Structure 1
Amino acid sequence: MSEKKHPTLLAHITGLDGLRAIAIVAVTLFHLFPNQIKGGYLGVSLFFMLSGFLMTYSSERKCYFVDMSARKFYLKRIKRIYPSLIIVTLVTIGVLYLLAPDSLGGMRREVLSMIGGYNNWWQIAQNSDYFTRISGISPFTHIWSLAIELQYYLIWPILYFIYLFLRIKKSEKASLAFLSTLTIIAFAWMPIRYFMGTDITPLYYGTDTRIHALLLGSLIGFEYVHPSIHKKKPKFRFAKPIYILCMIAFVLAAIFMDGQYKFTYIAGLPGMAIIFAIIVRLTAEKSLPFTVKMEAKPLKWLGDRSYELYLWQYPVLFLFIEMGWNEIPGYQLIIIGIILVLSVWLHSFTSFLFNEKQPYRFREFISLKNKKISIHVHRVACVCIVIFLIVGIGGLAKAPALKLSDEAELKAALDANAKVIDDSTDSSDRKDIANAQTLTEIDPLSVDYSATSNSAYVSKENMVMVGDSVMLACVLSLQDYFPDANINAEESRSVPDGVTKVKKMMKNGKITHTLVIGFGTNGIISQAKAEELFDAVGDDISVFWINIHGNKLTWTKQNNKMLQKLTKQHSNLTVVDWNSEVSGHKNWLYSDHVHPNLKGANRYADLLDETLDRVIAEQEAVRQSAAGEN
């Protein structure tokens, strides 16, 4: 094909390594500080944008130099992706096999999904049942994004050849219109699926809902290298303020854009993709100053190793959580140090493996004044890696095909309990709280209970309970203790979903005096969501919030601290301390260390009953005192 000379098609675009560095920093901070960097996951969208952009750039360059080949394209990606992925996978499994073998259940199928490039769809299938989302926490949860990129690599040669065909047979406008149409459809698909009622899990993990960033990256890549565009140099009059505003928007979104908010899927992710497109395009433009700034040595160093940093971070974090090392003060700094060392080694090793001209530089990173000691350290590191690789292969071979057997029992229990709730009668028509009058003749609602553990009137009759799968696992025991309670518990209930349910029940008049809350297992309890709940409930409803327990849940401590903080802000809140009660009693829980078994469910209900009795006794004493004064 005849094309005019491409002055921009150099082997490397300066500045993009800096963007990779920013993306990997955002993702790492999100994994280590999920409560503070709520939107750090947006770094993945920036990675997608860069991948799409560079895919186009590389393809146009190969095409221009008559070196375009689908076989070469796939081989290059395989050599770049799979050696590091396989090494990280086997080393991780080897370490876990030695330190935490129970965590390897079902690992073979997960590894197959990683190698096969469909891990995101595998995770969607696993998360279709909520208990697997909790019990199925994995050291490879983050590989979903790599799977989406692999799938895009698979279809890209087809898309590119269609683009070339249209450009040759029709026109440049027709070829760009084809890609633009695909991109617009992809952008619209995520909010459409959200309004169709699709769960957040497939929205976040699905190739169909996340491919918009890759397609837009490819589209701006064509804009960057297309001959007709560069006949006349584009003007960037307001590039600097636009670039700064886009970066500020990214920082703010990385801090505040919670992945549980509906805005994220209606406009947040698509909107940020557009912002990332602007950032990538302006960074790549040589006539602007951003390219030089993004080539700063620290950014370039991190960006060059971003893939290895991404692969290692979640396995290391998972090991710390699994072993309880996340209780060590400042453990995040230790994790960062370990990730950096492992990433430097892996990057050096794979670069040396596939490029004979590339020196093996790991020894320089660990070089000491005494060269003999340095060599010994290097050899020990290599031997350890080889040992873990061998153990990893053995561990993968011996890993149970399925998760621990009692998870099947847990699923059956959750399904059965959900049916019990569906079949139970609605409590909205039950007797009025007037029947809860005590032996005293005083109206219980007219008494000041501020001196007790809960400032609002408490009664066991006609209570409403709203919870997630932990409460659902305890339904039968709760019904034994509180036969006239209205229990509304379901799998996959997040904190925002729970708050929405409470607001709806308040609006319908179903909550009259005492509300028991049992959600918080599936995400962070934010101050904003808690205040939204108490605004709906008001001061006259007594709230009993059962705190959460889960050794592998990174938000356990944060949520329980938040509940204690809320008791100081809302006098009508009492915390039921299930976390302290169940700690040290593993035999009360299923193998996921989150959901109560039969013994645990009985104690769960009993603890709630004891807490209610204590507060009711305090309030009865206040009523007796008030009656005596009258």
Structure 2
Amino acid sequence: MIIDKVTGNDRMLGVNALKGIAAYCIALMFHPLTVGFTTNDRLPFDQIYFIGFIERNGWMSVELFLMISGFLFWIRYSEKIAQGNMSFSEFLKKRIVRIFPTMWLAMLITVVLQLIYIKITGQWFIIHNNSLMELIFSFGGMENFWTPQSWNAPAWTISLLITCWTIFFYVVQKSGGVTSRQICSCIVLIMIGITIVFSPPEKYYPLINTTFARGYISFFAGGIIGIIYMKYGLPMLKHVGTVMVLVNIIFWGLFWISDGAINWEPCGVTVPLIVWTTVLIITLVNKAIIKLLSTAPFQYLGNISFSLYLMNFPLEIIIKIIEIKGHIQIDYSSGWFLLFNSIYQILVGGAVYYLYELRFSTYVTKKIERYNF
């Protein structure tokens, strides 16, 4: 795909690809560490600093995923909501139809595999908070709302996303389309998130915990970028991007010079507000990056990103069951394992997206429109 003149649609292709890269980093570089896919505490190519860093800190890609979501929501829905052309029920139905079918499929597969795994080993795979009540919450998109992760670990983000969507809708609706009000609301929500991160509550409370704070910070930071892109255009976004590049140079330069004495913790604050904002803006304004990310492989990865993310955990259980039942020893530190696992999960994620997620959501949408639900 050759782009002579970069259009708004081309920029969205770049953002779509960035979403896929984030999903890949979470599912195939970071998750293997969290589920014990290591050999002698080694991961594939971890001696290469950049790769090793992603493998051990890939959880921060969730923040990028959330930031992209906030950006895209402002682009796609804010004007319709502000003008009164979309009700909350209509808005929520669109989102539920889009994500719940894949979440349900991944959850059903995970439940079956978890039951097989506990029968074989006598314990759950990684996640131990697997009660019937948690399963009911999970099927309702409320995993991680009342208690920490259960059953299909990656699905914890669903309740967070639903919360951010709800807040987003009412922020835009109550703002009356006034840009300054929307930006101020986003800043307030980001500050609430930062406050929770620095002063976390002693108990796990719904909405007020460090997990949800990650969403408040990243989703609404992405929202601000979306507002700037829509209301002030690329020239302003380029100026903001230039400032953010300088901020990164200064911050990481000081971190490197001080040999780590300057603390970049908590990462849930510094990474989304300093690093991911810069990455997202560069993806929107840099023509060379847009051309690269608009190619078919990156678009495929972006299209299947949600299926790849949610199917990752059950596919890892399958690998572990095969290893145990087959009495084999997998070298998880091998580059061959990373290659196999990438092909295996990307192919399955693609099959789930194109054969199920895309078709099912289209089918349900038509039924809703037909019967006016």
Q: TM-score, normalised by structure 2?
A: 0.70
Matching of residue 62 in structure 1 with residue 80 in structure 2: yes
CA contact (8 A) 1:282 1:288 kept: no
Deviation at 1:223, TM superposition (A): 1.3
**Aligned mates of 2:142, 2:237 — CA distance in 1:** 42
1:147 to 140, 159, 171: 159
Partner of 2:217: 212
1:188 equivalenced with 2:195 (yes/no): yes
Gap runs ≥5 in structure 1 = 1-7, 127-137, 254-262, 357-630
Q: Which residue of 1 aligns with 2:173?
A: 161
> 2:358 matched to 1:351?
yes
| Deviation by residue 1:353-389 (Cα, 9 ceiling, x = unmatched) | 3337xxxxxxxxxxxxxxxxxxxxxxxxxxxxxxxxx
Q: 1:288 to 1:198 in 2, by over 3 A?
A: farther
Offset of residue 197 of structure 1 = 6.9
| AA at the equivalent of 1:280 | L
C-alpha offsets along residues 87-134 of structure 1, whole Å, 9 cap, x if unaligned?
Answer: 11112323444564455784422222222333223443x8xxxxxxxx
Distance 1:19 1:88, change over 3 A: same
Match of 1:273? 272
Q: 1:309 to 1:291 in 2, by over 3 A?
A: same
Structure 2 residue matching 1:312: 3-state secondary structure: helix
> Is 1:40 aligned to 2:64, yes or no?
no
Instruction: Give the Cα separation in 1 of the matches to 2:244 and 2:348.
Output: 37
The answer (yes or no) to whether the contact 2:142–2:158 under 8 Å persists in 1 is no
Partner residue of 2:143?
Answer: 119
Q: Which residue of 2 aligns with 1:423?
A: none
Q: Tell me which residue corresponds to 1:340.
A: 346
Q: Distance in 1 between matches of 2:301 and 2:237?
A: 31
Unaligned runs of 5+ in 2: 1-6, 35-40, 42-51, 256-262, 364-373
Per residue, is there more helix in 1 or in 2? 2
Larger RCO, structures 1/2 (Cα 8 Å, 6+ apart): 2
CA distance, structure 2, for counterparts of residue 179 and residue 189 of structure 1: 15
Deviations 1:164-195 (A, max 9, x none): 27x2xxxx4344323322322322331132xx
Q: 1:22 maps to which residue? A: 21
Query: 2-side partners of 1:143 and 1:320: how far apart?
Result: 20
8 Å contact from structure 1 (residues 145, 205) kept in 2: no
Could you list the per-position Cα deviations for residues 306-331 of structure 1 after superposition, in whole angstroms to 9, with x for gaps in the alignment?
Answer: 10000111122234345644832355
SS of equivalent to 2:13: coil
State the percentage of identical aligned residues.
17
Q: Which residues of 2 match residues 497-516 of structure 1 at below 5 A?
A: none
Task: Indicate conservation of the 8 Å contact 1:121/1:205, yes or no.
Answer: no
Residue 289 (1) aligns with residue 313 (2) = no
1:242-257 correspondence to structure 2 within 5 Å: none
| Secondary structure of 1:15 counterpart | helix
Q: CA deviation at 1:289?
A: 3.5
C-alpha contact (below 8 Å) 2:81/2:173 kept by paired residues: no
Letter in 2 for 1:269: G
Could you say which residue in structure 1 is the equivalent of 2:107? 89
Asked whether the 8 Å contact 1:117–1:151 carries over to 2, the reply is: no
| RMSD (Å), alpha carbons | 3.8
2 CA distance for matches of 1:158 and 1:112? 27
1:343 Cα deviation from its structure 2 partner: 1.1
Alignment of 1:468-487 (within 5 A): none
Task: Assess, with a 3 A threshold, how the Cα gap between structure 1 residues 70 and 33 changes in structure 2: closer, same or farther.
Answer: same
Distance change (3 Å), C-alpha of 1:198 and 1:99: closer
Q: Which of 236, 249, 252 lines up with 2:238 in the alignment? A: 236
Alignment of 1:398-547 (within 5 A): none
Residue-pair matches, total: 312
- 2:70–2:221 Cα contact (<8 Å) kept: yes
Distance 1:235 1:57, change over 3 A: closer
Distance 1:82 1:216 in 2: 25
The 1:177–1:268 alpha-carbon spacing in structure 2 relative to 1, beyond 3 Å, is same
Q: 1:246 to 1:352 in 2, by over 3 A?
A: farther
Distance 2:173 2:82 in 1: 14
8 Å Cα contact 2:172/2:182 also seen in 1:
no
**Which whole-Å deviations, capped at 9, do the CAs of 1:258-304 have from their partners, x for residues lacking one?**
xxxxx67x43221111121222123223x743322222322211111
Partner of 2:313: 314
Aligned residue number for residue 47 of structure 2: none
Listed one character per residue, the Cα deviations across residues 422-451 of structure 1 (whole Å, up to 9, x for unaligned) are xxxxxxxxxxxxxxxxxxxxxxxxxxxxxx
Q: Distance in 1 between matches of 2:238 and 2:144?
A: 38
Equivalent residues in 2 for 1:576-615, closer than 5 Å: none
Whether the aligned pair in 2 keeps the contact of 1:100 and 1:323 (CA below 8 Å) is: no
C-alpha change, 1:298 and 1:213, in structure 2 (3 Å) is: same
User: Is the Cα contact below 8 Å between 1:316 and 1:335 reproduced in 2?
Assistant: no
Letter in 2 for 1:147: S
